[in-house]
Amino acid sequence: MEATSLLWKQDCHRASKIQNMGEAIVGSAIKLKWLQDNMSSLPSEPTQQQLEAHCRVYILWLIGGVLMQDKMENWVHLMYLIVLDDLDRVRRYSWGSACLATLYREMCRATNLDAKTMGDCASLLQYHALHCSKS
């Protein structure tokens, strides 16, 4: 196993407390379907650590599945775990700006002649186009 892959698995385990990730992590990304299927259900009286781990996994899934999707909508980069380390700060981040920046980057990539699809928040672009057309 590649050293960086092992580090990502360790970081993911530390943040999520999920065991046995197997082939779910490839390089620096994790499969969204695997995250969803293995998101632990919380006990009736969870500890603070269990709550925080569950929140990190759920937010990571939201980032990859809704806010900043890849072209295939099935992977999320584990770099977001760094942002989710301190859950008290997460609400203070400018998620809208991050989504727009990601959308603009994907729009630029989509202008390449060999591009067949566009990743990330296309629904945001559609909403904007619909909203502007009504004005």
Q: Clarify whether residues 87 and 98 are in a common domain.
A: no
Query: How confident is the prediction along the chain (135 residues), in pLDDT tens digits per residue?
Result: 455 556 666 767 676 666 666 677 777 888 888 888 877 678 889 889 888 888 888 888 888 888 877 666 688 888 888 888 889 999 899 888 888 888 888 778 778 888 776 666 666 667 667 777 665
What is the tally of structural domains in the chain? Answer: 2
Q: Clarify whether residues 10 and 70 are in a common domain.
A: yes
132 and 124 Cβ atoms separated by less than 8 Å = no
Boundaries of domain holding 32: 1-92
Q: Clarify whether residues 123 and 61 are in a common domain.
A: no
Q: Clarify whether residues 124 and 67 are in a common domain.
A: no
Residue type, position 32, single letter: L
Long-range contacts of 23-27, Cβ-Cβ distance < 8 Å, separation of 24 or more: 25/78, 26/75, 27/2
Q: Clarify whether residues 87 and 107 are in a common domain.
A: no
Q: Clarify whether residues 76 and 116 are in a common domain.
A: no
5 and 27 Cβ atoms separated by less than 8 Å = yes
Main-chain dihedrals φ then ψ at residue 125, nearest 5 degrees: -65, -40
pTM of the model: 0.74
